[in-house]
Amino acid sequence: NIEDVNDNAPRFPTKQTELEFPENSKPKDVKRTLPPAIDLDRAILGTQSYQIISGNVANAFRLISHREKDDILYLDLQVNGVLDRETIANYQLVIEASDGGQPPLKDQLLVNINILDHNDCEPVFSQNHYYSSVTENVTLGTSILKITATDNDEGDNGKIIYSLHQRQQSSQSLLNSKSDTTNQFDSVIDSTPSSAHFAINPRTGWISIIKPLDHESQDLHELVVIAKDQGVQPLQTSAFVSIRVSDINDNQPIVSVIFLTKNSKPMLREDATVGELVARISINDADALASDSSLSSSSSSMKAKKSSSKRFSSYHSFSVSLFGASDGEFGLKTTDQIVYLIVVTAPLDREKISKYHLIVMVSDDGHPPQNTTVSFDLDVIDVNDNPPRFDQTVYHVTLPETIEIGSK
């Protein structure tokens, strides 16, 4: 008999190999077969063991070996821990095979392991709530805000599609919703008025204006942006968007003159006393609904002579002027800084002026300013304030004595 000596080392058929494991592999449930190391020596001098000598971060893998009837020690690589592609996408394991010699002979195999992505990461927005402001005259098509979300998955699992919806109270519970609530979310908050004013580029996340905005109709739009990945079972998450519509001075003041007569017509007795009320001025402005400012009033035939102020819910101040009283017969008055009145400021004489053409002008201080003019004719009603008067105090006439009765 020829006695065997340990003159052959174990030999892997290749120096390196490639393997793939899905990242959702459960420990001890998934394994891959590796090529065994062949040793031409027999019995104890043949291949006796395998071990991972480097690259096994956090003991993510373990080796399983078994010997078949052909005396070859076969080798499997099994998942031993939790795999997370987003943390470690690749492993490089060095596996060493040893025989039973003294000292043992060895060989090494490099195993490159790629962790296959599983759609386990939902998109993440750069912030939970986005804010933007635009003026109400913004041009259609203007991009106003960029929304950004990222997804650590790869391939379609990490590709994000954005969509835009109206924010409603019921949407609060749907934030950070997964794919199983997608249909419910769409049916609850899609196709609503505010979202109709805006569109979002599904790829870039830019929000743009697609319908004219009006501060006076709605000065705040609350939206929900959905970021959904493109996995087979897609994941989605949500963020709030608040868009404030800033006012521009695009509305004229609305002026109403209410006459304080029984028939509500512009007329006044000529014996009206100084201070008597003629009419009340009511002013509204659709641009004037946000904050406090002042309203000033003046009366003049050509320019302002008197003024007072009124706190007005607006970012504007308003000037109110009265024209047409040539001798200052009428003016503006306020007693409570809420109601403005046209009052008699000088005696009237219908025999001199029987009709006044009065003009009320209201201007705001916008840029450019808007103004409104209201005019009316005020009739002065006659009163019996003049006695009959003879042309002369003494009349002289000469008559013939023969004049007939009834002669003129």
Q: What is the CATH number of the domain that holds 143?
A: 2.60.40.60
Taking the CA atoms of residue 309, residue 312, residue 314 and residue 315 in that order, the dihedral angle to the nearest 10 degrees is: 20
**34 and 88 fall within a common domain:** yes
- DSSP assignment of 311-372 equals EEESS--EEEEEE--TTS-EEEEESSSS-EEEEE-S---TTT-SEEEEEEEEEE--SS--EE
- Give residue 55's region: left, alpha or beta (phi > 0; psi -120 to 50): left
Q: Name the H helices within 190-264.
A: none
- Per DSSP, what are the bridge partners of residue 209? 198
Q: Which residues contact 59 (CB under 8 A, 6 or more apart)?
A: 80, 81
Which candidate, 330, 332, 331, 289, places its Cα nearest to that of 312? 289
pTM more than 0.75: no
Strands of the sheet with 129-135, listed across from one edge: 129-135, 236-246, 220-229, 160-166
**144 and 74 fall within a common domain:** no
Which candidate, 218, 175, 182, 183, places its Cα nearest to that of 197? 218
**68 and 161 fall within a common domain:** no
**128 and 112 fall within a common domain:** no
Q: Quick one: 331 exposed, middle or buried, by C-beta within 10 A (0-12, 13-18, 19+)? A: buried
Tokens standing for 70?
Answer: 């052909």
Residue 155 in domain: yes
**38 and 54 fall within a common domain:** yes
In the block, tokens 């493109």 appear at 230
- Per DSSP, what are the bridge partners of residue 333? 341
**32 and 111 fall within a common domain:** yes
Which candidate, 306, 321, 304, 303, places its Cα nearest to that of 364? 321
- Structural domain containing residue 151: 124-167+195-246
**111 and 152 fall within a common domain:** no
Residue 181 in domain: no
Number of domain units in the chain: 3
Supply φ then ψ for residue 143, to 5 degrees: -85, 130
The stretches in the chain having pLDDT less than 50 are 169-192, 290-296, 300-315
Residue after which a domain boundary falls, among 116, 150, 183: 116
Q: Are 239 and 127 in contact (CB under 8 A)?
A: yes
Q: How far apart are CA 264 and CA 80, in angstroms?
A: 94
pLDDT at 92: 98
Identity of the residue numbered 377 = D
**136 and 72 fall within a common domain:** no
Residue 353 in domain: yes
**280 and 362 fall within a common domain:** yes
Q: Are strands 267-269 and 371-381 parallel, antiparallel or unpaired?
A: parallel
Cis-peptide into 103, omega within 30 deg: yes
Please report, for residues 25, 32, 64, 110, 362, the alpha-carbon distance to residue 115 in angstroms, rounded to integers and kept in the order given: 10, 13, 20, 16, 74
Supply φ then ψ for residue 122, to 5 degrees: -85, 155
Residue 295 in domain: no
Residue 163 in domain: yes
Residue after which a domain boundary falls, among 116, 151, 186: 116
In the block, tokens 């950004």 appear at 148
Tokens standing for 28?
Answer: 């001890």
Q: How far apart are CA 308 and CA 16, in angstroms?
A: 93
Residue 128 in domain: yes
pLDDT at 395: 84
Q: How far apart are CA 402 and CA 222, in angstroms?
A: 108
**238 and 134 fall within a common domain:** yes
**259 and 368 fall within a common domain:** yes
Tens digit of pLDDT for each residue in 40-63?
Answer: 998 899 999 999 999 999 999 999
pLDDT at 394: 87
Residue after which a domain boundary falls, among 94, 116, 138: 116
Residue 282 in domain: yes
CA 396-401-403 angle, to 5 degrees, is 90
Residue 398 in domain: no
Q: Distance from first CA to last CA of the chain, Å, rounded?
A: 186
**324 and 368 fall within a common domain:** yes
